Structure 1
Amino acid sequence: MDMFLLRTIISAVGILIAANFELCFCGCARAEYEINGECCPMCAPGNRVYWHCTEDTSTTCVPCPTSTYTDEPNKLNACFPCTVCDAIKGVRPRKACTRSADTICEPHEEFHCIKPNKGSCELAVEHSKCNPGQYIKKTGTAFTDTLCADCTDGTYSNGYLMACQPHSKCEIKGLTEVKAGTTSSDAECEKVTSVGLIVGVTLTVTVLVAVLVALIAYIKYRKHKASCSNENVRYKTPPQATEDDSDQQKGQTSLNLL
Structure 2
Amino acid sequence: MDTVTLSFLSGVLQILYIQAVLGSGCLQSQGSCCILCDSGYFRPNDCGPCLPCPATGYTDKPNTKPYCDHCQRCEGIFLYKEKCTSTSNAVCTCIPGRICTDEKCTQCRRDRCPAGQQFGGQKCVDCPPGTFNSGAEHRCIPWKNCSALGRVIVNNGSRTSDVVCGVHITKPTESPGSSSAVTTVTRKIRPVVQPSPGDSNLTIIYVVVSCTVGLLLIVIVVVCRQKLTERIKHIFLKIPKPIVKQTEEEDGCSCHFPEEENGGENEPMTLEA
Shorter chain as normaliser: what TM range?
Answer: 0.3 to 0.5
What TM-score do the two structures reach when normalised by structure 1?
0.39
The structure in which a higher percent of residues are helix is: 1
> TM-score, structure 2 length as denominator?
0.37
